[in-house]
Structure 1
Amino acid sequence: MDRRTMLRATVVGAGAVALPFTAWSAAYGAPAQNAVGPYGPLLPADANGIQLPAGFTSAVVARSRQTVPGTSYTWHDAPDGGAVFANGTGWVYVSNSEVNGSGGASQIAFSSTGAVAGASRILSGTNRNCAGGKTPWNTWLSCEEVARGRVFETYPLGGAAVARPAMGRFQHEAAAADPVRKVVYLTEDESDGKFYRFVPTTWGDLSAGRLEVLRAGSATSGTFTWAQVPDPDGSPRPTRRQVSGAKSFNGGEGCHYADDTVWFTTKGDNRIWQVNLIAGTYELAYDDDLVNPGPAPLTGVDNITGTAGGDLFVAEDGGTMDICVITPDDKVSVFLRVTGHNGSEITGPAFTPAGDRLYFSSQRGTSGLSSGGITYCVSGPFRR
């Protein structure tokens, strides 16, 4: 039984058996360790400059400031956070644009065979749209990474985007919807950033609700509670400074929910945090300072997503331009590496509904400029 499952089972069965302290410690607080990956070693770089395991192939989908092949739409600068939505005939990949003074988001539609079927803008007139999150009702939450930034709910399958100020005004990064507790988790990209959840008045309607912040001690593991943020508008006092005892996280980035657990990354200390929502506990799922044997395969942690089989895929901002995989038994390894993009970062990893294609971008490509972004698709025998 892996550590995540053991912790969950321990809490559920606490009324019947009490683990000794040593057993509890073993089930609580051992971050992922370096190991041989489930897909094997990386092969030499392909024609697109991507190193992949055997059986996988890559393709360029779009380039910033160039027309998306097969369409008349020009792809945006600095592609960032992304997600995939089934649309009845295939799927849609949504991507943010992290551009100062502008931004927004675009989408590319694909047929059931993966061929491009169209592309368009779904959000305009916003600023520095970094990450975000998908909702169970098939909308994309596009988040502004600026002081008193907003969350915009966009409609990749049709509909006009709308601001959701009730979700708080702060330097937003990512969002992850939890359909069990009917909340949306939110990260904040500040050195003393906080971890929030938004509790809608009505699930499926983000126009009104309650913003709460996680309260906990200073340790890297323990229990937590939620406290309401008095003024989600964040002015004159920022949301992160309104609640006493709110736990600080150093540069909140990606966020992913699955199976009563939410994971989020913090780039300031190269960590991945794991929050057990049944137990009401948090711990480190990854810390590059605690990897043994070293060196750490994952640095510059950023966007995060997962598969139906429980694997986590984590993109690097810098580092060696890798996407790493963390398996359910807490083993971490490099899945792919983008070569020749030293001034860039990997963004927007997202799987198709069938789980056989992974989309992502190199935000600034080989040029190191926002105008040099490249969006890719990797296909192959992903574990599902």
Structure 2
Amino acid sequence: MTAPDRRSFLGGTLAAGLASGLAVQTLGRHAAWAEAGRRPSRPGEAGYGALRRVASRNTGEELLALPAGFSYTVLGRTGTPMSDGVPTPIAHDGMAAFPGTRRHTVRLVRNHEVRTGPGSPVGRVHVPGSARYDELGVGGTTTLEVDPRSGEVVRHFVSLNGTIVNCAGGMMLHRRGWLTCEETTAGPARGWQRKHGYVFEVPLRGPEPGRPAASMPLTAMGRFSHEAVAVDPRTGYVYETEDDAGRPDGFYRFRPRDPLDLSAGGVLEMLKVRGVDGYDCREGQTTGARLPVEWVTIDDPDPDLEGGAPTCAQQGLAKGAAKFNRLEGCWYGDGGVFFNSTSGGDAKNGDAPGADGYLEGYGQVWRYVPGRRDGGTLVLVYESPGRKQLDSPDNLTFTPRGGIVLCEDDAGSADADPHPLAPGLVNVNRLIGLDPRRGEPFEFAVNIADDSEFAGACFSPDGATLFVNQLGSTAALDPPGRTYAIRGPWGRGPL
């Protein structure tokens, strides 16, 4: 079946008679997002109220703007010597929080999206003599044991190295560790010793200062420009997002043979809208409508790209899989998987079109609900109407109280994005909250230090602390990457 007009399709087989009751049934307690952006709040209603510039509790620097009552400390700044003697690397990206090994502590596993050349010493993640996948790899992860109440870093160290461009990832099943993803398919042709574009495991227990985990690629999970993953705790299936800028991207599902041993292999699949070949999710969508889903198999999950083999996305699209644009953050919550399309949507940001002519939008938030007897359901829960509401959502996290935090990555070149709290900055990035009760986005934090993106937002196991990274530079020591621990009156609002 060839793809019909999307709006006609939604108006016919999928959205006939769509009313508020159906939206509630589709989205559960997040039904209000179906109306997001259509009924703005009165001043002071949304989120936690007005923001103001705030100095860090431990450094005194004004780096963030936050609502009244919230404070933060700075952890793990680029260049700070760690417990293993290695300077804290550059490019702080995806991250997750786990219970610490000591009372009141939290263990963070943090990605470093280092984009320097093969073997470059600038800000790299590197422990000499350790078990590394690629001896020239400059990326990886660090682990921090922190006390969020005092802001003390108890210890921190390299927990995986020998990889490159570690962008995002996700928690392993039963929170046994972190899955870190390479956002590239570079290989020997670009100077690296090994092929890249894989997912790697960072076990929670095992890595210690001076003894990072061995970096072994999980090739059955696909070789593509990975962004993030989320694991369904009921099935152990791993959902994966792809961010290959300028080309249509896929939303993937990995069905492992053994959910507790991803290295044992499994089946990689790509999402397809049931009965429609090549359905284009990037634009022309209806918020709140139900899209029935099926899955197509990726026959060659580890393609020989250097030899001209079709990419994972090309394989899926050839079987009628759905198209997305720049899929990034991915998190399991409320019985489904929420994920961002950074540049999806009908409101366009003015940047030059991609390779297939697609014009980038300001971003979409999707929810996939697994089916018990079928392929599941896909729902667009929010689409940004413009940069003021939401500009280029990247990482995201589902909060303990049922909201969502979106990390902006405004890399647009055509649409300047200044902010009154950050004078002198042209493209300002924010943390945006999505309120499931009111169905609208709101500003929660503004990066007033530089124009780098927010990344790695995650809550401590007790829900009292929001950890988030400021990326900094991916190829230089300045601006530095930082990790923030934000505390305050969460119960006063929707996060």
TM-score interval, normalised by the smaller of the two chains: 0.7 to 0.9
Q: In structure 1, what is the Cα distance between the partners aligned to 2:484 and 2:20?
A: 44
Q: Contact (CA 8 Å) 1:323, 1:337: kept in 2 or not?
A: yes
Q: In structure 1, what is the Cα distance between the partners aligned to 2:299 and 2:144?
A: 39
CA deviation vs aligned residue, 1:261-305 (integer Å, no higher than 9, x gap) = 11111112211111122482212222112xxxx663221210000
Q: Contact (CA 8 Å) 1:107, 1:156: kept in 2 or not?
A: no
Q: Contact (CA 8 Å) 2:64, 2:449: kept in 1 or not?
A: no
**1:281 aligned onto 2:374:** no
Q: In structure 1, what is the Cα distance between the partners aligned to 2:84 and 2:223?
A: 36
Q: Contact (CA 8 Å) 1:122, 1:156: kept in 2 or not?
A: no
**1:118 aligned onto 2:172:** no
Q: In structure 2, what is the Cα distance between the partners aligned to 1:354 and 1:179?
A: 19
Q: In structure 1, what is the Cα distance between the partners aligned to 2:51 and 2:202?
A: 37
Q: In structure 2, what is the Cα distance between the partners aligned to 1:23 and 1:377?
A: 38
Which deviates the most, 153-162 or 84-93? 153-162
Q: Contact (CA 8 Å) 1:298, 1:316: kept in 2 or not?
A: yes
**SS of the residue aligned with 1:358?**
strand
Q: Contact (CA 8 Å) 1:96, 1:131: kept in 2 or not?
A: yes
**1:260 aligned onto 2:260:** no
Partner of 1:94: 109
> How much has 1:113 moved relative to structure 2?
4.6
- Quick one: which amino acid aligns to residue 267 of structure 2? R
When residues 326 and 103 of structure 1 are mapped into structure 2, their CA distance, relative to the original with a 3 A threshold, is same
**1:240 aligned onto 2:317:** no
Q: In structure 1, what is the Cα distance between the partners aligned to 2:86 and 2:49?
A: 38
Q: In structure 2, what is the Cα distance between the partners aligned to 1:200 and 1:237?
A: 23
**SS of the residue aligned with 1:268?**
coil
Q: In structure 2, what is the Cα distance between the partners aligned to 1:316 and 1:151?
A: 23
When residues 206 and 119 of structure 1 are mapped into structure 2, their CA distance, relative to the original with a 3 A threshold, is same
When residues 238 and 352 of structure 1 are mapped into structure 2, their CA distance, relative to the original with a 3 A threshold, is same
**1:105 aligned onto 2:174:** no
Q: In structure 2, what is the Cα distance between the partners aligned to 1:194 and 1:31?
A: 26
Q: Which runs of 5+ in 1 are unaligned?
A: 1-18
TM-score under structure 1 length normalisation: 0.86
**SS of the residue aligned with 1:193?**
coil
Q: Which runs of 5+ in 2 are unaligned?
A: 1-15, 27-32, 56-60, 119-137, 186-195, 208-212, 274-278, 345-362, 411-426
Q: In structure 2, what is the Cα distance between the partners aligned to 1:316 and 1:31?
A: 21
Please point out which of 141, 145, 149 is paired with 2:183.
145
TM-score under structure 2 length normalisation: 0.68
**Counterparts of residues 202-213 of structure 1 (less than 5 Å):** 202-207=258-263, 208-213=265-270
Partner of 2:65: 51
**Counterparts of residues 75-86 of structure 1 (less than 5 Å):** 75-86=88-99
Q: Contact (CA 8 Å) 2:429, 2:454: kept in 1 or not?
A: yes
Partner of 1:6: none
CA deviation vs aligned residue, 1:320-352 (integer Å, no higher than 9, x gap) = 31101112232210111111312x111111111
Partner of 2:47: 38
Moved over 6 A (4+): none
**SS of the residue aligned with 2:169?**
strand
State, as a whole percentage, how many aligned pairs show the same letter: 33
When residues 140 and 295 of structure 1 are mapped into structure 2, their CA distance, relative to the original with a 3 A threshold, is closer
More strand by share: 1
CA deviation vs aligned residue, 1:179-228 (integer Å, no higher than 9, x gap) = 11321110000231100011111121111111111011335351111122
Partner of 1:339: 448
Partner of 1:194: 250
Please point out which of 250, 265, 269 is paired with 2:325.
250
> How much has 1:376 moved relative to structure 2?
1.4
**SS of the residue aligned with 1:44?**
strand
- Quick one: which amino acid aligns to residue 210 of structure 1? V
Q: In structure 2, what is the Cα distance between the partners aligned to 1:347 and 1:209?
A: 30
Partner of 1:309: 401
When residues 288 and 368 of structure 1 are mapped into structure 2, their CA distance, relative to the original with a 3 A threshold, is farther
CA deviation vs aligned residue, 1:134-176 (integer Å, no higher than 9, x gap) = 1124211110000250100012331424321111111100011
Indicate the structure (1 or 2) with the bigger Cα radius of gyration: 2
Q: In structure 1, what is the Cα distance between the partners aligned to 2:146 and 2:407?
A: 23
When residues 339 and 21 of structure 1 are mapped into structure 2, their CA distance, relative to the original with a 3 A threshold, is closer
When residues 249 and 111 of structure 1 are mapped into structure 2, their CA distance, relative to the original with a 3 A threshold, is same
When residues 25 and 112 of structure 1 are mapped into structure 2, their CA distance, relative to the original with a 3 A threshold, is closer
